[in-house]
Structure 1
Amino acid sequence: MLELAPNPISQGDVELTHVTFLNRQALYLRPDPARVVVRPFKPATEPRDLHPKEKTRANHIVDRVLGLDPEAAASQLIDVLENFDGRHRNLLRTFEFRCDEMEEAFDPHPPFSRIQRQLIGAYFLHEYSFEAAALFNPSIVPHPDQSGAGEGEKRFVLSLRSVGEGHISSLTFRSGTVTAQGIVTVDPTVRLASVPKVVARSPVPDGEAVELAFSPEEDISERLIFPITASQSNGIEDARFVEFHDGPRKTYYATYTAYSGSAIRSELIETTDFQTFRMGPMRGSAARNKGMALFPRKINGRYAMIGRQDNENLYLIYSDDLFSWDGGVAILRPRFPWEFVQIGNCGSPIELDEGWLLLTHGVGPVRKYSIGAVLLDKDDPSKVLARSSEPLVRPEPSEREGYVPNVVYTCGAMRHGDYLVLPYAVSDTFSAFATIRIDALLREMRG
């Protein structure tokens, strides 16, 4: 049985705003500090680069555990389980695995009993509340499993940026459904949370690629991808997922910003089922920036991206290799007052009969972020056919307060019939939803 958390989602009737084609839904995803994972606790650093004094500290902990008589050690382990076992899956196995990870840091010692091994592992772990501070910058794609969807409905996967202690960003997920009438619901969140097993690591140009796997028994809302490589160590930020079609093959890709604490770069994540993932760095001059978004199919036989390279304008970039991106041509520059500071993309372009619909963000006076739209030519996306002169979504009075005030932002929308389903973040704090009639939006755009 899955254990459901008190759901940090509020939902009500659809509300209309002053923009007639935009329906803001009274559905909100708010950060929940009760959702935690266990992370390695490092008295100093990882075993392979411990200094002698730091190594001694780890062994002081081991010596104290070994100094407990068997009854006291068993009693202490029972006390730990009573406090933490219901909060995590397979906790004893996690303790044993952590003890094995720390073995290189330990001085030679007699063989640990199983209880000693489990208890020692517990001393080198801590709980981390991965969305205690924020749950924002969502993207949305069709769910790979549409079983259970009713007539006219579509199931979806939502990815979100979660932020916890130390302002570290990780990647979390939700699932939900949109009806034929454009009403969005999000499935209840499982209280437990888990990080994946690292299946493989391999050197690649400019870094390291990793393969990850979650257990099939884990609900999608339970799955958390925490920073794994050195380039991601301070955050996996703003994943822009897209359902990519290459003939009959369908793959989900997402570009994201990897932040090491001193440098950023764009990286790519790949999955077919949201259970197993592969992550690796992209290279080239265009990949040194934030906010790249992949088109959902090749254009004239080549991969295509929208990205920002100069902190102001949007570029169209082509490549024959998903991981190598150079050059590009500027296709969009700030034009209207609400975007005079800069523009950027808000996710992957969406294919319509009329062209490629690209959501953008614009930054205006007092660093106010709003969301707009652009229509690009289907055969030659460097040609701009139309764009919105006014924002589709702007911070409303009830949506302007938060960690970063006056910001609405999204990392991707999804088409469903006549509607655009738009999840968006509010002030870098929580996430909300709107739907947009596509025909009405196109009528409002100008050349």
Structure 2
Amino acid sequence: MPFPVDHLIFGPDDVDLSRSPLAGQFGAETYVLGAFNPGLTRLPSGNLLMMVRVAEALRKPIADGHVHCIRWDAGRYRLDAWPLDLCDTADPRKFLVRGGKWRVMALTSLSWLLPVELTADGRERVAVHYDRVIAPHAGFQCYGIEDARISRVDDRWLMTSCSVSPERHSTTLYSSTDGLDWRFEDIVLDHQNKDMLIFEGRIAGRYWAQTRPLGDLYFAYPPASEWRAGPSINLATSPDAHHWKPHPHPGIRPHADTVATARMGGGTPPILTDQGWLTLWHGVEPKEIVGIYRTYWSLLDSENPAEIVRTEHEPLLEAAPELTRPLEDKLYVRDVVFTTGIVDAGDHFIVASGEADLACRITHIPKSAFGL
């Protein structure tokens, strides 16, 4: 379905690496692998704020028989070298270290978060706030901070992000009283619970969130079940947004009759409508190394989000090659749209996505697309 506004608003060429937190830290050239997967919120001024993931990578990661990665350590950034014959470098975003009993990988880039302010309609950039960059500050973020998701709950903004280190792949929480100045709160979920989305509002006084724990083992549904075993979107509740209890009932699960959502995870923080909580999420169809990422949607009951009121099996958004054609020389993956933010704009929603793990995409989607 074509939408009236659907464009790229920010990309690699828009990042000034001279103002990066990595600038001048080591003697190797870096570039922006991607500026993508933006959290989105509306500021008190009415303008929009994107919290953009900047993946800063080494221009030449392979040299002298080694593949290199960037790591934060005790207030500085340094390079680690891994023997090339021990590593699988087929995926440009990471490399696998062979020889163990389980998968071990390192990243070819280190991510930090860049606040980018937009006009109220998301059509133009207003400012890039390098003075408010969020960068690693502790060992549990030594390989970077990824994929911010922003929710406004009452008079406070809450932002979840994924912090990456050898010890844990954790969800970290930041808070703000104005949507622009952020304070680190704590680790709130532990290993490989990557897509945590806090609902934009409380239910009976409690915070709710979608989570997506990952693992290498899943138990089978019965042969005739409508569900497919694998990653699913779960639910959790909290009295304070710090201490989370898994909800006993399942959330959104992959259907057995389609491979398009064989893997799934959260996209936008659920936003309350007069028909329930609207949530946009991603499904991944297996293809080659990365797969095909598409955006889907569901409406959840306003009082019991474990109950799905309505959903569609057809994708809402798909990758748009015409948008990235001017950036063809920078593309390293294709068939990927990863939706990460939503705000209400009256008769439509403004939706932010990462396009091709490369740039930030803004789409205006009429509420009628959801039957609202």
Q: Which among 365, 368, 372 is matched to residue 296 of structure 2?
A: 372
Q: Which among 222, 225, 244 is matched to residue 153 of structure 2?
A: 244
Superposition deviation, residue 281 in structure 1 = 2.9
Q: How many residues align?
A: 296
TM-score normalised by length of structure 2 = 0.72
Q: Which among 201, 210, 231 is matched to residue 312 of structure 1?
A: 231
2:280 corresponds to 1:359? yes
Q: Which among 283, 286, 300 is matched to residue 204 of structure 2?
A: 300
Tell me the secondary structure at the aligned position of residue 162 of structure 1: strand
2:105 corresponds to 1:174? no
Distance 1:39 1:348, change over 3 A: closer
Distance 1:24 1:368, change over 3 A: farther
Deviates more, 1:400-409 or 1:292-301: 400-409
Which structure carries more relative contact order (alpha carbon 8 Å, separation 6+)? 2
Unaligned runs of 5+ in 2: 58-69, 71-108, 215-229
2:176 corresponds to 1:234? no
* Percent identical: 26
Distance 1:238 1:38, change over 3 A: closer
Equivalent runs, 1:250-289 vs 2, <5 Å:
250-261=155-166, 263-283=168-188, 288-289=192-193
1: distance between equivalents of 2:30 and 2:52? 12
Aligned to 1:161: 53
TM-score normalised by length of structure 1 = 0.61
Aligned to 1:140: 40
- Normalized per residue, the structure richer in strand is 2
Distance 1:442 1:320, change over 3 A: same
1: distance between equivalents of 2:187 and 2:279? 22
Structure 2: which amino acid aligns with 1:321? D
Tell me the secondary structure at the aligned position of residue 440 of structure 1: helix
2:319 corresponds to 1:398? no
Deviates more, 1:366-375 or 1:432-441: 432-441
Tell me the secondary structure at the aligned position of residue 337 of structure 1: coil
Aligned to 2:251: 331
2: distance between equivalents of 1:131 and 1:294? 32
Counterpart contact for 1:136–1:424, Cα < 8 Å? yes
2:148 corresponds to 1:224? no
Distance 1:414 1:275, change over 3 A: closer
Aligned to 1:186: 124
Tell me the secondary structure at the aligned position of residue 390 of structure 1: coil
Tell me the secondary structure at the aligned position of residue 245 of structure 2: coil
Tell me the secondary structure at the aligned position of residue 178 of structure 1: coil
Aligned to 2:262: 341
CA RMSD across the alignment = 2.6
Tell me the secondary structure at the aligned position of residue 182 of structure 2: strand
Counterpart contact for 2:48–2:117, Cα < 8 Å? yes
Distance 1:368 1:405, change over 3 A: same
Superposed CA deviations along residues 115-146 of structure 1, whole A, max 9, x for unmatched, are xxxxxxxxx85699887221000121111223
Superposition deviation, residue 393 in structure 1 = 0.6
Tell me the secondary structure at the aligned position of residue 369 of structure 2: helix
2: distance between equivalents of 1:404 and 1:385? 34
Counterpart contact for 2:118–2:127, Cα < 8 Å? no
Superposition deviation, residue 275 in structure 1 = 4.9
Larger radius of gyration: 1
Superposition deviation, residue 291 in structure 1 = 0.5
